[in-house]
């Protein structure tokens, strides 16, 4: 009767025709086997897996008249700011909804067509069961349906803690669909994604099928977390190729898991991927994804996120009520600037959690001793010192003295999406024209130093650095270029302008104020070319206490999209060539 039960479950699971065939075969084998045989368990396990896969079961989609209104509300309720991203997500949902309708219409057409084409005289014929060749008109409709079915797969890319996972969750909630997170970080083995063949001992289905089994419906939202950390091709197969099959709308209605070994339709699954950077995603995979970029938050945005979302969340998590604890704005600002330095808000949430916990202890103790009158719900600066320890970050710039040869540059780290300032230090010493570079500088950065040096050498006379046109200013000296922090690798051409200004400053003995920062690539002819990561760089600059920034003329358009706070907080000036930059520095 164990067999009977299994049979019944397989029936209830409404297997696909392919799976049905396999199931029947395996059931027959099972009946002939002795339960003591090892093979018996393997076979039974397999059939149980088949029964657990949601072949047709779906959550009734809430793509009704109110979906978009509801989705907008959900996204707004859960997240502060991110206007562009929310707008893009809503567009996506709107298209999804329209497609759903189109699909329904096509289904109706197909049905009508099938009925009109079924000859009535077949009714008493012997062969009503035989599959009929689909007609040309039917094929056309099916093809159309497949076109409509293709929806782009979204990729949310941005620094840690900026709300990617949480946005994807909101989308699932708004649609009323089941949500499942698949962590791809560190998946090295193709079999983890598509399972092991059944001939292996203890073979199991892969992550995708397990996910389907877990949610129990064929149309969940799958979050493919950290797709950028997916392992590359190696002797265990190619995980990214398996992923490609999962994501490609041309292939994913017949996805094959090695264990299950019959095609599974993934086309109803809504995939949303997240990544911290695009650099490590294999190009064919990236090609199938539609990227939505998130960038870091400014201090002001963080303050709003904290007071609207993080603090209420942490208060509840720690068993407090909102009247038990108040974090004043100046205290919150202190936590943001002195205890966290990140693009997102994850550490901020953690620090707020610590503060809430310590208040919870205080409150509980006061309650136990029946001394609630002495309990102060307001968090003070002293509380912060006591719970969070000494300040982790201090503003670097205020301690800097202006010295010739030192210039404040700007960097945007590709991993982490953080922007920050970077000091470029150049020193000279007696020597024979040697250039030494330290601070883990990449090849492109090294070359940009050479370009800067060549330009300065070529214009030494005009710059007033040498007495006549034909004197080599490097003749009896050597220079050393260093970029702290020395252990963090840096690359890219965007420090070219800063190097040029630093060299000019060194040779002329005129210092550059540390609160003046700059970024820009230079050409040998002295043009200043646009660079990337402007938003991250400027947010980092503002945080570090920079007051003035020189940017390439070509980056004017990037500045228009910046948060108000950044545009107000920095004096931003644009330069088209080095001469203009020099004119603004001195
Ligand atoms: P990772 O790349 O590390 O996975 P992530 O982008 O997925 O990071 P989340 O886990 O989504 O980050 O966000 C971290 C926390 O910050 C969550 O609690 C999330 O709700 C909160 N958060 C992030 N951005 C916002 C926002 N704009 N409004 C409200 N809460 C936010
Ligand atoms: Mg995440």
- Mutation test of ligand 1: which of 154, 293, 344 has the most ligand atoms closer than 8 Å to its C-beta? 344
Gap between the Cα atoms of 323 and 223, Å rounded: 36
Gap between the Cα atoms of 555 and 535, Å rounded: 10
For 472, half-sphere exposure in the C-beta direction (CA atoms, 13 angstrom radius) is 10
Find the catalytic residue in 457, 494, 505, 535.
494
- The angle, 0 to 180 degrees and rounded to 10, between the axes of the packed helices 496-508 and 443-458 is 40
How many angstroms separate the alpha carbon of residue 275 from the centre of ligand 2?
A: 8
Q: Which token pair is 41? A: 């368990």
Radius of gyration of the chain (CA): 32
How many angstroms separate the alpha carbon of residue 180 from the centre of ligand 1?
A: 17
Per-block mean pLDDT, blocks of 10 residues, the chain (586 long): 87 90 92 87 90 87 72 92 91 85 83 72 51 75 76 87 92 89 89 88 90 92 91 79 85 88 89 89 88 86 93 93 91 89 89 93 90 87 88 67 90 69 91 89 91 94 87 89 77 91 94 93 95 87 88 92 86 95 93
530 lines ligand 1 (CB under 6 A): no
297 lines ligand 1 (CB under 6 A): no
165 lines ligand 1 (CB under 6 A): yes
- Global pTM reads 0.77
164 lines ligand 1 (CB under 6 A): yes
**Percent of the chain as helix, strand, coil, to the nearest 5:** 50, 15, 35
pLDDT in tens, 451-490: 999 999 999 999 998 888 888 888 889 999 998 776 677 7
269 lines ligand 1 (CB under 6 A): no
Are 283 and 269 contacting, i.e. CB atoms less than 8 angstroms apart? no
Are 313 and 163 contacting, i.e. CB atoms less than 8 angstroms apart? no
163 lines ligand 1 (CB under 6 A): yes
Task: Please give the backbone phi and psi of residue 332, each rounded to the nearest 5 degrees, phi first.
Answer: -60, -45
Q: Which ligand is nearest to the CA of 302?
A: 1
Place of tokens 């040998």: 524
Q: Which residues of 200-229 are buried (b: 16+ CB within 10 A; e: fewer)?
A: eeebbbbbbbbbbeebebbbbbbbbbbbbb
The candidate with the shortest Cα–Cα distance to 463, out of 434, 417, 419, 505, is: 505
What pLDDT is stored for residue 428 in this prediction? 92
Are 465 and 508 contacting, i.e. CB atoms less than 8 angstroms apart? yes
Are 509 and 404 contacting, i.e. CB atoms less than 8 angstroms apart? yes
Q: Which ligand is nearest to the CA of 170?
A: 1
Which residues lie across from 427 on neighbouring strands?
480
Q: Assign 453 to helix, strand or coil.
A: helix
416 lines ligand 1 (CB under 6 A): no
What pLDDT is stored for residue 295 in this prediction? 82
Place of tokens 């209104």: 69
81 lines ligand 1 (CB under 6 A): yes
Q: How far is CA 232 from CA 113, 158, 187, 192, 291, in A?
A: 47, 21, 9, 13, 20
How many angstroms separate the alpha carbon of residue 165 from the centre of ligand 2?
A: 4
Q: Which ligand is nearest to the CA of 345?
A: 1
Ligand 1 atom having least distance to the Cα of 310: 30
- The count of other CB atoms within 10 Å of the CB of residue 283 is 8
**Of all protein residues, whose CA lies closest to atom 28 belonging to ligand 1?**
79
Ligand 1 atom having least distance to the Cα of 294: 6
346 lines ligand 1 (CB under 6 A): yes
Q: Which token pair is 377? A: 């719900």
**Of all protein residues, whose CA lies closest to atom 3 belonging to ligand 1?**
160
Find the catalytic residue in 86, 97, 457, 537.
537
Q: Which token pair is 298? A: 């400014």
For 379, half-sphere exposure in the C-beta direction (CA atoms, 13 angstrom radius) is 31
Q: Which residues of 492-511 are buried (b: 16+ CB within 10 A; e: fewer)?
A: bbbbbbbbbbbbbbbbeeeb
86 lines ligand 1 (CB under 6 A): no
What pLDDT is stored for residue 505 in this prediction? 95
Q: What angle do CA 492, 494, 499 make, to 5 degrees?
A: 110
The reply to whether 537 belongs to the active site is: yes
**Strand 263-264 with 255-256, pairing:** antiparallel
SS3 sequence of 266-309:
CCCCEEEEEECCCCCCCHHHHHCEEEEECCCCCHHHHHHHHHHH
**Of all protein residues, whose CA lies closest to atom 30 belonging to ligand 1?**
79
- Mutation test of ligand 1: which of 79, 157, 161 has the most ligand atoms closer than 8 Å to its C-beta? 161
Q: Assign 441 to helix, strand or coil.
A: strand
Gap between the Cα atoms of 208 and 269, Å rounded: 10
Q: What angle do CA 86, 88, 94 make, to 5 degrees?
A: 100
Whether the predicted interface score ipTM is above 0.95: yes
Q: Which ligand is nearest to the CA of 276?
A: 1
What pLDDT is stored for residue 223 in this prediction? 95
Q: What angle do CA 296, 573, 454 make, to 5 degrees?
A: 100
Ligand 1 atom having least distance to the Cα of 225: 4
């Amino acid at each position: 009767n164990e067999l009977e039960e299994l049979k019944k479950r397989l029936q209830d699971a409404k297997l696909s025709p392919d799976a049905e065939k396999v199931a029947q075969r395996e059931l027959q084998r099972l009946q002939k086997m002795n339960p003591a045989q090892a093979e018996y368990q393997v076979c039974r396990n397999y059939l149980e897996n088949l029964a657990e896969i949601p072949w047709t079961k779906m959550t009734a989609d809430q793509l009704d008249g109110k979906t978009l209104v509801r989705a907008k509300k959900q996204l707004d309720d859960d997240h502060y700011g991110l206007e562009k991203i929310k707008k893009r997500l809503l567009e996506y949902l709107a298209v999804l909804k329209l497609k759903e309708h189109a699909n329904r219409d096509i289904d109706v057409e197909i049905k009508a067509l099938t009925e009109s084409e079924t000859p009535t005289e077949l009714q008493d014929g012997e062969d009503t069961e035989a599959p009929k060749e689909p007609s040309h008109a039917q094929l056309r409709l099916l093809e159309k349906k497949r076109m409509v079915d293709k929806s782009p797969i979204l990729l949310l890319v941005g620094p840690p803690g900026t709300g990617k996972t949480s946005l994807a969750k909101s989308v699932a909630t708004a649609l009323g669909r089941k949500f499942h997170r698949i962590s791809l970080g560190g998946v090295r083995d193709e079999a983890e994604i598509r399972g092991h063949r059944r001939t292996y001992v203890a073979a199991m289905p892969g992550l995708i099928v397990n996910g389907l089994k877990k949610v129990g419906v064929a149309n969940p939202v799958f979050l493919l977390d950290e797709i950028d950390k997916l392992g590359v091709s190696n002797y265990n197969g190619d995980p990214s190729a398996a992923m490609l099959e999962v994501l490609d709308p041309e292939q994913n209605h017949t996805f094959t898991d090695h264990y299950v070994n019959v095609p599974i339709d993934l086309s109803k699954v809504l995939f949303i991927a997240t990544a911290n950077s695009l650099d490590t995603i294999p190009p064919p995979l990236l090609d199938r994804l539609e990227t939505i970029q998130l960038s870091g938050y400014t201090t002001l945005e963080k303050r709003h996120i904290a007071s609207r979302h993080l603090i209420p969340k942490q208060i509840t998590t720690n068993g407090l009520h909102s009247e038990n604890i108040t974090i004043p704005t100046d205290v919150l600002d202190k936590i943001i600037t002195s205890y966290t330095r990140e693009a997102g808000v994850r550490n901020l949430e953690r620090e707020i959690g610590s503060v809430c916990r310590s208040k919870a202890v205080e409150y509980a103790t006061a309650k136990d001793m029946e001394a609630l009158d002495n309990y102060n719900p307001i968090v003070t600066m002293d509380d912060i010192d006591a719970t969070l320890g000494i300040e982790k970050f201090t503003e670097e710039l205020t301690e800097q003295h202006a010295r010739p040869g030192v210039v404040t540059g700007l960097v945007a780290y590709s991993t982490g999406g953080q922007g920050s300032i970077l000091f470029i230090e150049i020193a000279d010493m007696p020597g024979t024209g040697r250039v030494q570079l330290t601070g883990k500088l990449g090849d492109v950065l090294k070359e940009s130093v050479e370009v800067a040096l060549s330009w300065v050498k070529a214009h030494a006379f005009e710059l007033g650095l040498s007495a006549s046109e034909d004197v080599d200013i490097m003749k009896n000296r050597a220079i050393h270029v260093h970029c702290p922090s020395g252990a963090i690798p840096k690359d890219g051409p965007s420090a070219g302008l800063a190097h040029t200004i630093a060299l000019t400053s060194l040779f002329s003995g005129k210092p550059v104020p540390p609160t003046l920062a700059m970024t820009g690539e230079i050409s040998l002819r002295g043009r200043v070319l646009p660079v990337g990561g402007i938003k991250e760089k400027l947010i980092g600059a503002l945080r570090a206490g920079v007051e003035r920034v020189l940017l390439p003329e070509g980056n004017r358009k990037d500045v228009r999209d910046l948060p108000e706070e950044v545009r107000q907080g920095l004096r931003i000036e644009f330069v088209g060539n080095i001469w203009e930059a020099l004119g603004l520095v001195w």
